[in-house]
Structures are given as C-alpha cells and as structure tokens.
Amino acid sequence: MTTTLDTTRFGAFGGTFAPETLMAPLFELEREWKRWTADADFRAELASLLQHFAGRPTALTHARRLSRELGLELWLKREDLLHTGAHKLNNTLGQCLLAQRMGKSRVVAETGAGQHGVATATACALLGLDCVVYMGAVDAARQRMNLLRMELLGARVRVVEHGQRTLKDAINEAMRAWVGDPTETHYALGSALGPHPFPSIVAGFQQVIGEEARKDFLARTGRLPDAVVACVGGGSNAIGIFRAFVPDASVALVGVEAGGEGVGKGQQHAARFAGGEPGVLHGCYTYLLQDDDGQIRPTHSISAGLDYPAVGPEHAMLHDEKRARYSWATDAEALRGFEALAKGEGILCALESAHAVGWVLREREALSGQHVLVNLSGRGDKDLETIASLRGPEREGA
C-alpha cells in the first residue's frame, strides 16, 4: 500500500465545505489518517487483510472471444473476484482498520448499489465494530439481496424515505449520524468524494487496483494498454485504476458515466461532465448536476451505484487538465455490455461496470487494434432482478 495524497485540493476542486460541527471530526480524521498510514504495522496489517481475507491480487483476464469479435484486445481487471464481489472492500478494510486504531467503536456508512454497505458490514464484523448503514428507499427496493447481506453480517440498515431516496440522501443521513456522535463514531465514506480528507483517503485505499493492473499488464504483454476504461459514479474504482497510469502520457484514461435515458434536453441521466457544471455538494467543490437556481437536478441510472449528481474532485481535475476523457453510456448500452460479457466471456458483471463495457462496444471502430483495459468494479449478482424484469418474456422457455 502506498501513501495517499497530502493535499486538500485537486487543482481548483475539492476542499472542505462543511458545517462547523464537522470541522473537528474532519481535522481529527486527517491527523489520524496521516499518522496511521505512515505506520509500518498498520500498513502490514492492511496488506495482510487484503491478501489473506479479501483475496488480492485480483486477476487480469484477457477477453479472447470479445477481442476477436470487436477487433481489439480487451483486458479485464477483475475486482468482481474480490471478497464481497466488488472493489469496495479495499476501502472499507482500510477505513475500518483506521477507525479501530483511532479508538472508535461504531462505524456509519452510506450505500447506493449496496456493495459499499456490504463491504462495510463485512469489515466491521471482521474487526468487531458496530455498524449502521444508510440506504435510500429506491435503492433498498432494487438491491434487496444486498440489504439482506448487510443484516446477516450484523449491520443495522436505516432506509431513507425522503428526497430522491437514493445515494445522495443516504450520504446526508450518514453525515448527520456522524455529527451526532463523532467521539465514538467513524464515517466510512464509500467513494472518492466529500470534504477533505475523504477523497484522498478513499483513492489511496483504492489505488492498489491500478498498481496491480499496471504491473500485471506489463508482465503479460510487455507493454502498457492504449486505454484504461472504468465506470464513474462517485469515482472510487476509476480513480483507483487511473492513478497508476496518470504519469503515462501514452495511456488514454476514459471514465464512463451513466447516460441514463440519454443526455439530451429533458432526458434524465447522471452524466455530470455531459450536463453539469462546478458547484458544491457534500462538502467539496466539483462538477455536479444542478439547475439555474443551484438546486440539485434529479438523476437516473439503471445502476444504483452510478445514480449520483456529483463526481469526485480528482476526476474533475483530470477532466479540466484534459488528462482523462469522460464519456457516458445509456441504460440500453449498459445492458448490451452486460449481455456481451455474459454470453461472450462467461462473466456476469455489475451494471455499473457494464457501462464501461457498453462504451467499448459503441466505440469499437475508434478503438480498433488497441489494447483496452476495463476495470470490472463488481459482479452482477445484485442486479439480476433488475435485468430479469427488463428482459421479460425474452427469457428462454417463457
């Protein structure tokens, strides 16, 4: 594990736009995060947990059949093979271990698709910490199995019934819970967003993805990929793999947002770089979807994990510096990506990751002959009810 960025800003973005009641907990978190991530015993214990409990390193898979079909070399970084089924465990093991070293007895978290909630509940069960997870009612309905998994792991799930009842509202409630008891409680934020130091903490615990991928790709192919592609909600899986390749100018970095129904006027989506502008949400300055009065616009995505109106500030910096390109895939394109990977490679990926695959399918001509590395941030078990409802009578034997 390498150290995280020691900064409160990413270019013009980031910062600490938080109420006075949060400043003391944030200062404490920054101090303890710097202290413990520099501690050799902490780093060794986290590395051991990642290897022997989580299952790192994860595989690098060459998608041979799809490569032939698409006319490019498609490679997959398999975070779907990590324990609990997604990249989220990298961060929750780090943050919960940090909470334990800080003397906290309780962890609160938010979740959208449920994978961060499951990963937090898992880490808390492992380390003997009390766990409360906040989840929007819309997400709780479409991710029922993950809600059950959290409860079976000992977490108490608080379903949020106000606002859009999705990830944004779950974050609001988790922050309120943290403010109410900062002495005993740690807030394990799940993505690379929020007030400093959260974007740096989360990205730092996730950059193991890119470090492994870069090393393995060079070992397998003798070269670097031409492009690294990842879905972007808040942006933790994407920044986790991007960081290792940022210094390599020859490697294109592509973040794929949720295009929802489409990004045209009047259509609902969660493509912040396609329809948003800079503003402040959940404690940081970044790109977000807002109306002319500065009110947060409703979002939509077939995937609960991408259904969020803002993006992590490090992505905002990479966008404005033109080091990364941010595109989008619609719900329909994500479904095509899911089906292509399932039928072509025997992999059921999360609908979030399917957006990245769907983008590659759409851009196949422009990518012809290139080596393309896609980060599969999670597996698709959690999305099977959604996919089954959309397929309807097309199922064999119906």
**Under 8 Å CB-to-CB from 13, ≥6 apart: which residues?**
278, 284, 285, 286, 313, 314, 316, 317, 320
Among 191, 303, 377, 382, the active-site one is 377
Quote the pLDDT of residue 7.
59
Whole-number Å distance between alpha carbons of 398 and 388: 12
pLDDT in tens, 2-45: 333 345 899 999 999 998 999 999 999 999 999 999 999 999 99
Quote the pLDDT of residue 164.
87
Residue in the structure block whose two tokens are 């780093």? 43
Quote the pLDDT of residue 6.
43
Question: Which of 80-84, 151-155, 243-247, 385-389 is least confident?
Answer: 385-389
Among 110, 257, 352, 363, the active-site one is 110
Compute how many other C-beta atoms are within 10 angstroms of the C-beta atom of residue 385: 14
Mean pLDDT of the 271-282 span: 96
Quote the pLDDT of residue 154.
98
110 is catalytic: yes
Q: Which candidate, 306, 320, 275, 250, places its Cα nearest to that of 14?
A: 320
Quote the pLDDT of residue 199.
98
Whole-number Å distance between alpha carbons of 304 and 114: 8
**Under 8 Å CB-to-CB from 50, ≥6 apart: which residues?**
1, 56, 90, 93, 208
Contact 97, 91 (CB under 8 A): no
Secondary-structure percent of the chain, ordered helix, strand, coil, rounded to 5? 45, 20, 35
Whole-number Å distance between alpha carbons of 15 and 11: 10
Quote the pLDDT of residue 338.
98
Q: Which candidate, 155, 39, 38, places its Cα nearest to that of 106?
A: 155
215 is catalytic: no
Whole-number Å distance between alpha carbons of 238 and 375: 8
- Judged against a pLDDT cut of 80, whether residue 394 lies above it is answered with no
Mean pLDDT of the 150-155 span: 98
| pLDDT band at residue 392 using 50, 70 and 90 as cut-offs | low
Contact 308, 138 (CB under 8 A): no
For 13-70, the DSSP string reads: EE-----HHHHHHHHHHHHHHHHHHT-HHHHHHHHHHIIIII-PSPPEEE-HHHHHHH
pLDDT in tens, 103-138: 999 999 999 989 999 999 999 999 999 999 999 999
Among 88, 104, 168, 382, the active-site one is 88
Whole-number Å distance between alpha carbons of 85 and 81: 6
What is the sign, positive or negative, of the torsion defined by CA atoms of 308, 359, 285, 98? positive
- Judged against a pLDDT cut of 60, whether residue 397 lies above it is answered with no
Quote the pLDDT of residue 4.
39
Query: Rounded to the nearest 10 degrees, what angle do helices 198-206 and 313-320 cross at?
Result: 80
- Judged against a pLDDT cut of 50, whether residue 72 lies above it is answered with yes
- Judged against a pLDDT cut of 60, whether residue 396 lies above it is answered with no
User: In this structure, what token pair is assigned to residue 67?
Assistant: 């490569």
Q: Which residues pair with 130 in a beta bridge?
A: 106
Contact 131, 154 (CB under 8 A): yes
| pLDDT band at residue 391 using 50, 70 and 90 as cut-offs | confident
pLDDT in tens, 324-357: 999 999 999 999 999 999 999 999 999 999 999 9
Quote the pLDDT of residue 317.
98
377 is catalytic: yes
The one-character DSSP state at 112 is: S
CA 364-370-371 angle, 5° bins: 110
Q: All domains of the chain, ordered by start, with CATH? A: 9-52+88-203 (3.40.50.1100), 57-85+207-394 (3.40.50.1100)
Question: Strand, helix or coil at 97?
Answer: helix
Looking at per-residue confidence, does 119 or 167 come out higher? 119
Mean pLDDT score of the chain: 94
Quote the pLDDT of residue 265.
84
Whole-number Å distance between alpha carbons of 198 and 364: 36
User: In this structure, what token pair is assigned to residue 90?
Assistant: 């990298």
Percent of the chain whose pLDDT exceeds 70? 96
Contact 82, 56 (CB under 8 A): yes
pLDDT in tens, 284-324: 999 999 998 899 999 999 998 999 999 999 999 999 999 99
Question: H helices within 157-278, ranges in order?
Answer: 167-180, 198-206, 208-221, 236-242, 272-275
pLDDT in tens, 45-66: 999 999 999 999 999 999 999 9
